[in-house]
Structures are given as structure tokens and as C-alpha cells.
Structure 1
Amino acid sequence: MTAKPDQVSSDELLARILSSLEDDKAEDVVVIDLRGRSSVADHMVICSGRSSRQVSAIAEKLTERLKSEFGRICKIEGKDQGDWVLIDASDVVVHVFRPEVRDFYQLEKMWLPSGAGASARTV
């Protein structure tokens, strides 16, 4: 049975996203807690795929799973290029990068205050 999109907590959504990323062999997964820091989402997930094809596949599978399991329609940007895909799942925003692109933009540094141990975790 599919849960209604508004009945899924951000923590449940995050857990399913992390499971999907693990299933699809995403690398260097980092979760940043945005609660109290942003009104956009509760969590940000940043991860890498080894190639443009894998980045696109990770994003496609994730959006399919969230739609079929939670009825959640995600906004997605950049899937066709495969360098950096942004998936907006409402309470959780996911960035999937090729490693070189991730190194260039360094989103973790932008969102993590110095000495941030509690607000981010590597999965």
C-alpha cells in the first residue's frame, strides 16, 4: 500500500532515499540536517556516481521509487546531462554529482559551518 505524500515524515523519506542510494551504489553519501537553518527542506543529501550514466540512473531510480512507494512526485533538474542532478523531494533535497563536479562546487563546505559534526553525517 502506498502512503500518501503528506503522511510521510521527513525522516521516513530520508531513510528511503538513503536506502535507494545504497541500492544503486551511490558513493560518498553525506546527509546535512537543515532543520532550523532553511525553510526549503529538512535534510540535504549529497552523493556521487562514478559516471554521467550512473548519476542519471541513480536519480531516475530514486524518483521512481519515491513515486511508487510514497506517491511523491519529485522535481528533477539536470538528469539529461548527468553531471549534477538535483532532486527536490520536498522535505529532502538530493544532489547527485560526478566526483569532479562535486569537487568543483563543494556544496558541503557551503552548508556546513566549520566544526560541524552534529549537523552532517557520512552514510
Structure 2
Amino acid sequence: MTNATPHTLDPAASAQRQLDAYNARDLARFVAEYTDDVQVYRLPSAEPMLVGKAALTEHYRTHRFNLPQLHAELVNRMVFGNKVIDHERVTGVQDQAMEVAAIYEVTEQGIAKVWFVSGS
């Protein structure tokens, strides 16, 4: 197996691999699941908060993977075609756990778009 992970259209597997890498704080493995031109949104904003793998990498390096208690627990997952909707309980970012919905749009090249909705 090479370092480059070939992607097949298995949206749930892509979402799970990035979640596992997130919890391991493995930045290289995490960003490998995303396309080079990934767009990340925080709803209700219609404009992406991050565009491109470089911006994604920098954000997670400086705002997530540096947090020692960071962990996302998968509460529920639904798959609709190439979309995966995860309900996650994220700890280690704020004093209280955050309830988050993450919607991943997956292509054969990887996760192309993500929309986040926070319960707080």
C-alpha cells in the first residue's frame, strides 16, 4: 500500500477515516481524506469559511489538533447517496461539549464539501 490513499465512492468509509484521524490528531491522514479544493462552511453562512486543502490543514493544525483533550464522539450517522450526516459530540474545544452536525459531500477524489451546524 502506498502513502496516497485511493478513494472509492464509499462516503461512510471516508467520513469514518477522517473522524478516526481527527481523534488521533493525525493531520496528514486527516487532510488526505479531502479534495485539494475542499470547501468548508459553517451554517447559516452561505460563504465558505475555508477553501482548499492548505487552508484546511492550517486551521486544524492551529485551532484543533493542538488541543490536548480534543475528541469527537460519533452519536449518529446517516448516509444519503454521496452525503454523510454525522451528529458528533465534540469535547476539548470549549468548556462544555459541543453538539455538532457535520454534513460531508464525498466524491471519488475525497471529501469535497463540509457543512457544520453547531447546537450552541
User: TM-score normalised to the size of structure 2?
Assistant: 0.34
Whichever structure has more strand as a proportion of its residues is 2
Whichever structure has more helix as a proportion of its residues is 1
User: TM-score normalised to the size of structure 1?
Assistant: 0.33
